[in-house]
Amino acid sequence: MPAKLASIRERARVLLDGICHVCPVCDGRRCPTGVPGMGGIGTGASFRNNVTALAAWQVNMRVLHDRKDQDLGLRLFGQKLAFPILGAAVAGARVNFQGRVSEEELARAFVLGAAEAGSLSLTGDGPLPELMDAGLKAIKAAGGRGIPVIKPREDGEIVNLIRRAEDAGAVAVAIDVDAAGLVNMTRAGQLVEPKTVDQVAGIAAATSLPLILKGIMTVADAEAAVAGGAAAIVVSNHGGRALDHTPGTAAVLPEIAAAVGDKIIVLADGGVRSGVDVLKMLALGARAVLVGRPLAVAAIGGGAAGVRLQLEALADDLAVAMRLTGCGDLGDIGPGILKKGW
């Protein structure tokens, strides 16, 4: 680990005392808090399953080949990205981080750090208006290089928030449909609900921005997203923070990508901690991956510079993993580089 990144993590460990141990291996086994906080919901099984599902895949090393240079670049939502690693939506600083960082500081760190690294970050939503406000403000400051995530609110309210995203110049907009049962929203008297295909279609038709549905864990929901006209899905269990005892995302990603990967952009998150983990997700069918907790630690400890350094470290690790598996560019990455673990 680069010395600067190590010092950023150490600073985050101090600032997050009692919230997150900043463990050497972030697998949910020693989390001091669940939800709110940095851990998983209930027993934490869904969080841990994300990590173990990725660990179940091994990588076939190949070093006799002509793929000597690695190109990590891609285009996504009309943007040229330096690598297929995006910031996930991490928000709720007052609740999840006990106010030790402000919502604006958190959003700016994610969005501006990702933009400086040549990528994109998502921003969050929640019962307090400051979450959406901070995210949109950061996206506007980054020249639109960001994607706001809206809770599955009443349809008209979602469209109103999409208008604000359009005004901020966002490159796309997302709905985290896996937040349909979040207690913090219902306790605040704010409606969140599952969405029908017709509702998705109506929302997609209301904007020219690409619509992303985050929280897809089954082929049936993926096919419903396609039918509703979504531009992309994120295979995600909300970082293990929405429903206990769900599978890890890497366990369900292959069947979802096989079913709809030629019809819709498939993204994924959950348990990604290294460039090798990114490589695995790409090989399992994701076009790009979202990273949450590692970037949250980097943001708390180092702001936008910390997020940029963490993303660049992941990208460097991915480049090495590609070279050692015979992959010159992202198009070379496929299921053939993986082997199911014992």
What's the pLDDT tens digit per position in 108-150? 999 999 999 999 999 999 999 999 999 999 999 999 999 999 9
The CA distances from residue 141 to 108, 210, 302, in Å, are: 8, 20, 19
Task: Give 342's pLDDT tier (boundaries 50, 70, 90).
Answer: low
pLDDT at 324 over 80: yes
pLDDT at 341 over 90: no
**In sequence order, which residues have a C-beta less than 8 Å from that of residue 106 and are 6 or more positions away?**
90, 91, 93, 97, 134, 296, 299, 300
Task: Give 189's pLDDT tier (boundaries 50, 70, 90).
Answer: confident
pLDDT at 286 over 90: yes
What's the pLDDT tens digit per position in 300-312? 999 999 999 999 9
Counting residues of the chain whose pLDDT is more than 70, the rounded percentage is 100
Average pLDDT, the chain: 96
Q: What pLDDT is stored for residue 340 in this prediction? A: 87
Give the pLDDT mean for 20-24.
Answer: 95
DSSP classification of residue 62: B
Q: Does the CA dihedral 282-49-149-206 come out positive or negative?
A: positive
Q: What pLDDT is stored for residue 186 in this prediction? A: 81
Give the pLDDT mean for 101-106.
Answer: 97
- Residues that are catalytic: 238
User: Do β-strands 85-87 and 288-291 pair in parallel, antiparallel, or remain unpaired?
Assistant: parallel
- In the chain, what's the furthest Cα-to-Cα distance? 60
Is residue 321 a contact partner of residue 275, using CB atoms and an 8 Å limit?
yes
Q: Does the CA dihedral 36-42-44-50 come out positive or negative?
A: negative
Entry field: residues in the chain: 342
Token pair belonging to 215 = 């929280």
pLDDT at 188 over 90: no
What's the pLDDT tens digit per position in 36-86? 899 999 999 999 999 999 999 999 999 999 999 999 999 999 999 999 999
Q: What pLDDT is stored for residue 106 in this prediction? A: 98
Counting residues of the chain whose pLDDT is more than 90, the rounded percentage is 94
d(CA 296, CA 311): 11
pTM over 0.85: yes
